[in-house]
Amino acid sequence: MEYPEDKRILSIQSHVTHGFVGNKAATFPLQCLGWDVDVINTVNFSNHTGYGTVAGSVVSSTDLEKLYHHIITTTGLEKYQCLLTGYIPNADLLEQIGMVGRDLKHKNPDSIWLLDPVMGDEGVMYVDTSVIQAYQSLAKSGGIDIITPNQYELELLLGSPITTELEVTKALDILHHQYRIKYVIITSIYLDNDKSSLKAVCSDNGDYHILEISPIIEGYFTGVGDLFSALTIDRVYQQHLHNGKNHKQLYQCISEVMQIMHKVLIITKQARELENCSQEEKSEKDNNNNNNNNNNNVGKINDGTMRFNELRIIESRYLFDGNN
């Protein structure tokens, strides 16, 4: 009897009780893809911060170090094939995670580390400003194989605006050659201030491709980057594992991931519209139908409508088996 290969990943990012961001968005899809997922939560929140208020706590750097040390020493684990790091709310925690990353790479130099430098989007920061310098130092320290910033996060990392293709190529040159990061994926960017055309950029040591993100699905969705990173590290690992046989270029891997992401958002949008219809019916029965329509619940920060745009990860499970 043949057993599937042992694929073990350590995922260090946020946890929420309700919704799908951070480890909640990454763990189930990775398990569907055959990964044994160990998780360390950087925060334990009731819900994501887009709701405007949360209950819960942030893990201290001391506790994170204890958790990691105990996993390694008690379980006898010798190595992980991959490390995935996401939402890290402060500099102290980020420095500790940097030590975890270096230790994992020391134990298994062939392991793949994907760093998602979650700081914010479209000019709004999600974390303490202290993490900017900490991310800059970590990115320069070596050991990171994949980095997945959005446009705003890339600008924070490099300390300058990046709005043209020329500026993108200069940024890629810095990340590849000065920071020694092989794979760079800019998950969303507007070039030349063209807000009508959202793009992604993926680069394998400077061999870059610009991909169109189209069509755009209306709504403020959270957890998209966390799911994207989980699917990306799986595809890149498979690329390394089968190098020389059915080998795919990075842009082909990312195109596959983007197609899955689009389908997940379609499923989420359809679920949102069904909830809207149910609300309309209830309002009509209560004689209180105040111009409800399918655009009311597209999701806004600090607004109760955020719940309608929680990713439908479970309903999308058939997409995560590696055959889509």
* pLDDT for res 175: 97
253 in a structural domain:
yes
Domain CATH number, residue 80: 3.40.1190.20
Number of domain units in the chain = 1
CA nearest 40: which of 76, 1, 75, 83? Answer: 83
64 in a structural domain:
yes
* pLDDT for res 169: 96
pLDDT of 291 over the 50 cut: no
Q: Once rounded to an integer, what is the mean pLDDT over residues 300-306?
A: 62
Q: What are the pLDDT digits (tens) for 104-114?
A: 999 999 999 99
Record the pTM: 0.89
Q: Once rounded to an integer, what is the mean pLDDT over residues 119-128?
A: 87
3 in a structural domain:
no
Of the two residues 219 and 41, the one the predictor is more confident about is: 41
Place of tokens 């499923």: 267
pLDDT band at 292 (very low <50, low <70, confident <90, very high): very low
CB atoms within 10 A of CB 305: 16
Range of the domain at 283: 8-320
177 in a structural domain:
yes
CA nearest 26: which of 34, 18, 17, 37? Answer: 37
Q: How far apart are CA 43 and CA 266, in angstroms?
A: 29
| H/E run at residue 254 | helix 250-285
Q: Are 34 and 49 in contact (CB under 8 A)?
A: no
Q: What are the pLDDT digits (tens) for 133-169?
A: 999 999 999 899 999 999 999 999 999 999 999 999 9
2 in a structural domain:
no
* Sequence-distant (≥ 6) Cβ neighbours of residue 74 within 8 angstroms: none
295 in a structural domain:
yes
CA dihedral 299→302→304→309, nearest 10 degrees, is 30
Instruction: For strands 146-147 and 183-190, give the pairing.
Output: parallel
Q: Once rounded to an integer, what is the mean pLDDT over residues 177-187?
A: 96
CB atoms within 10 A of CB 281: 12
Place of tokens 């055309």: 197
pLDDT band at 323 (very low <50, low <70, confident <90, very high): low
150 in a structural domain:
yes
Q: Are 202 and 168 in contact (CB under 8 A)?
A: no
* pLDDT for res 3: 52
Place of tokens 């500790």: 96
pLDDT band at 1 (very low <50, low <70, confident <90, very high): very low
1 in a structural domain:
no
pLDDT of 33 over the 70 cut: yes
Q: What are the pLDDT digits (tens) for 252-263?
A: 999 999 999 999
* pLDDT for res 52: 82
